[in-house]
A and B are shown apart, each in its own frame.
Chain A
Amino acid sequence: MASNAAVPFWRAAGMTYITYSNICANLVRNCLKEPYKTEALAREKVHFSISKWTDGKPEKPTLRSDSPVE
């Protein structure tokens, strides 16, 4: 099989397909008209809290609630 087939420019730059797809989706959401834009951005907000565990106990969690960028 062709192992040096032409790769898409984003893969040549080190980006994965999922990253590319998410960037495209974010750009499209940012170009929407008003009520739809806030709905779309609100729907895609991600909240999660991460805590490192040491010696079987969780340390203080950090909250991340950025809307996904890239």
Chain B
Amino acid sequence: MLRRASGLLARPILAARARPFSTDLPAAQTADATFLEAWKKVIPNMDPPKTPLSFMQPRPPTPSSIPSKLTVNFVLPYASELATKEVDMVIVPATTGQMGVLPGHVATIAELKPGVLSVHEGNEVTKYFISSGFAFIHANSFADVIAVEAVPLDRIDASLVQKGLAEFTQKLSSATTDLEKAEAQIGIDVHSALNSALTG
């Protein structure tokens, strides 16, 4: 009778256990065990082929104490600017304002507006102007910043920025359709962000 009672007690606990969040799952295995066994049974002499999973590095698990460094991957469509670089802090230009990311930051997805990304490592700060993009901050202190176009600030030509700002301000006042107004507004936003990046 007592044995049945313990069985009854155990069941509600299992039912109450919710599905784990994706951030709490352990890192995925690098090879499929059942596939490997089946392969070895049929073709024991040849090495099994590598599957895409085995080429990917598993995501490092969330450590129990806050790590001392943030690992940043900063990628562009044509190049990877920073690949798993360990830094102290990055400041990303999110649409909600400049967001500072330190190790141990809560997992966040942020859309970026045209602005300056600064990477702080020890005493040095590297700044890039980003045209737009996204920043994914994971719970294990990895940050992925993706942008379409990113340039170091010294490659920006101030006179072209001023010219562009004047041109788009003028376009905004002469715009008729919604779409033209939106394009002119985008032009003004980007050029004023470039301007403040150069002067700030």
Contacts and interface: CB of A to CB of B under 8 A. Distances in A.
B69 to A, nearest CB: 30
Nearest to A15: B182
Interface string B173-184: 000001101110
Interface residues of B, number: 27
A28 B151 contact: yes
Interface residues of A, number: 26
A24 B148 contact: yes
Interface string B140-177: 00000000110100011100110010000000000000
Interface of B: 78, 95, 114, 129, 131-133, 148-149, 151, 155-157, 160-161, 164, 178-179, 181-183, 185-187, 190-191, 194
The DSSP consensus for interface residues of chain A is helix
A25 B114 CA distance: 9
Interface string A29-51: 11111101100100100000000
Contacts of A13: 178-179, 181-182
Most buried by A among B131, B178, B179, B191: B131
Contacts of A12: 178, 182
Given A13-B179, A13-B182, A14-B178, A31 B132 contact: no
A40 B148 CA distance: 12
A58 B114 CA distance: 43
B151 A36 contact: yes
20 contacts: A8-B95, A9-B185, A10-B185, A10-B186, A13-B178, A13-B179, A15-B182, A20-B132, A24-B149, A25-B149, A27-B190, A28-B114, A28-B131, A28-B151, A28-B190, A30-B164, A31-B156, A32-B156, A37-B157, A43-B78
